[in-house]
Amino acid sequence: MTQATIRDVARHAAVSVASVSRALNGAASVSPATRDRVQASARALGYVPNAAARSLSLARSNTIGVVLPELHGEFFSEIVRGMDRAAGSLGLQLLLSNMHADVELAAHALRAMRGRVDGLLIMAPELAAATLIDALPGQQPAVLINCAAAGRSHPGFGIDNRAGAAAMVRHLLAQGRQRIVHLAGPGSNLDARERQEGFTAAMAELAPGAPVEVLAGDFHEETGMAAAQALLSRGPACDAIFAANDQMAIGAMRALQDAGVDVPGRIAVAGFDDVPVARYLALSTMRVPIAEMGARALARLARLIDGTDTTTDVELLVPELVVRGTTATGAISNKNPQEEPTS
């Protein structure tokens, strides 16, 4: 025999299906006697309501669709952890799908979620605004995370990359650095673009005379290494490298150490994201509250679904400056960084 249905329970308890439904959902007006009998029967038969049927009937699934791009480890788990925490406390489930880069596949993933989810949480830092808006099912509530498209028709969340970059520039300047080179991320990535803009804007404002140099990069460690090597081999030296993410900063650090360059004595290095490794390598960086972003995005989506919040503005989370050894003016303290507790 397969799973028991509500009609099996009704038969077993000698009542109608309506009474079973009412009794199990705690609805009004069921006599205590009936309620008890129904609950006993349900337990006896091992009855578990069929979620698909429930969703269909109620036009509500209590499930949130999550569409993420191909993310490197830590970022992925953190954001999902935040979402899961919020979802758990609201009694919601998470249906996960990777964006798989391709717009066609992404659209298909979104399509497959129709009827299965009450709303969507979408992160697509690489997608152009128009493309994404097109792919979105019109009716479905959605919150966009780190999307160029956020703010118009859909509410969004994002990192305040400009403010973060500015904070790091301010810090480096305060440490007496004069020639800061920015190692940018891929131009296709929204965060990368905003960080670069933040960098140039901050330099223009805070150090009007200083040379502003930007090197192209792609968020990968190797690129960081190559860039640092290139910087060393060519003419005028810089005294600080500010990478658009930690991976590239780590690559740069390695290359500098290989070349015997004193970090931060001769060249300071800073990253962005605060991946867990950063702490071990004493890398100064901007900490991005990823889990919090996931949790808040989910909570907002929940409000959007139940109509409590219909705004469409973008909320920005400001990264926090984390100063470690690689930008300290004093001694190199590249080991035993214990400024924070272990996560």
Q: Is 30 in the site for DNA (CB under 7 A)?
A: yes
Residue 312 C-beta: closest distance to its own copies, Å: 20
Q: Is 35 in the site for its own copies (CB under 8 A)?
A: no
Q: Which of 7, 230, 276, 339 binds its own copies (CB under 8 A)?
A: 276
Task: Give, rounded to a whole angstrom, the gap between the first and last alpha carbons of the chain.
Answer: 48
Residue 282: C-alpha distances to residues 75, 172, 252, 270 (Å): 19, 16, 14, 10
By a kind-dependent CB cut-off of 5 to 8 A, residue 342 interacts, out of DNA, its own copies, none, with: its own copies
**Are 6 and 49 spatial neighbours (Cβ–Cβ below 8 Å)?**
yes
Q: How far from chain centre, in Å, is Cα 245? A: 15
| Comparison of 93 and 200: residue with beta carbon closer to DNA | 93
Residue 108: C-alpha distances to residues 3, 103, 301, 333 (Å): 31, 9, 21, 50
Q: Which of 1, 11, 12, 22 binds DNA (CB under 7 A)?
A: 22
| Comparison of 34 and 312: residue with beta carbon closer to DNA | 34
| Comparison of 80 and 183: residue with beta carbon closer to its own copies | 80
CA gap 59, 53 in Å, rounded: 10
Ramachandran category for residue 314: left, alpha or beta (phi over 0 → left; psi -120 to 50 → alpha): beta
Q: Which of 25, 178, 311, 329 binds DNA (CB under 7 A)?
A: 25
By a kind-dependent CB cut-off of 5 to 8 A, residue 81 interacts, out of its own copies, DNA, none, with: its own copies
Binding segment (CB under 7 A) for DNA, from list 55-63, 188-196, 236-244, 255-263:
55-63
DSSP string covering 196-256, please? Answer: HHHHHHHHHHH-TTS--EEE---S-HHHHHHHHHHHHHSSSPPSEEEESSHHHHHHHHHHH
- Contacts with DNA by CB under 7 A: the residue count is 32
Q: Which residues of 212-240 are buried (b: 16+ CB within 10 A; e: fewer)?
A: eeebebbbbbebbbbbbbebbeeeeebbb
Q: Is 287 in the site for its own copies (CB under 8 A)?
A: no
Q: Is 112 in the site for DNA (CB under 7 A)?
A: no
Q: Is 80 in the site for its own copies (CB under 8 A)?
A: yes
Q: Is 229 in the site for DNA (CB under 7 A)?
A: no
Q: Is 300 in the site for DNA (CB under 7 A)?
A: no
Q: Is 27 in the site for DNA (CB under 7 A)?
A: yes
Task: Give contact residues for DNA (rule: CB under 7 A).
Answer: 2-3, 5-7, 14-19, 21-22, 24-25, 27-31, 33-34, 47, 49-50, 53-54, 56-59, 115
